[in-house]
Amino acid sequence: MAGIKKITTARDLLTAIHQIQPVSKPLPGYEDRVVSRFPLGVCMDECYPGLYIGDIGAAKDKAYLTKVGITHVLNTAQGNKFATVDTDNQYYEDVGIKYMGMKLLDIPTANIKQFFHSGADFIEDALATGGKVLVHCFMGISRSATISCAFLMLKRDMSALEALTTLRKNRAIFPNDGFLSQLAELDNNLRSQRQ
């Protein structure tokens, strides 16, 4: 029927994720030679110009972050419990990296949407000043990917599908079902606001 607008669902987003195979790329900072990520204990990828998604290994390696030119770190898994990362402003103070933390667990019932706007603003501030931002969680696939996706939707006017595709082409992201539902809700809200 003409005029009926399709509503984005978490299932639509999940289907799209499954259809995209990430491109294998060298570890940032080691483009000139083949370096395995595993012995270094660092896993990070540039998923959008200046926006990197990574894991605890990347987040905790200040020397590596400095080498790559990271100016901002957004920890979407702040804490000292299982599957969290225990960093804060003081952790990065000696290397001059700006920090933002979000206390989130990677469970479908977590309210990640409460951080969509503040996370997007932090990333935008980093990029607008010519910086590079690492958005990370424990493994760099769910919480960090969801906040990065929200940034692309809110600040770059992408749909949820476009944002997830952009990120997934560059890293094997896989937000949990609850996070996909919250991204779908954001997508539907933004689409109705932009009409």
CB environment 148-179: b (16+ within 10 A), e (fewer): bbbbbbbeeebebbbbbbbbbebbbbbbbebb
State the catalytic residue, choosing from 43, 47, 137, 149.
Answer: 137
| No. of helices (H) and no. of strands (E), the chain | 9, 5
User: End-to-end CA distance of the chain, in Å?
Assistant: 19
The amino acid that residue 142 corresponds to is S
Q: Is 149 a catalytic residue?
A: no
Give the chain's length: 195
Q: Which residues are catalytic?
A: 137
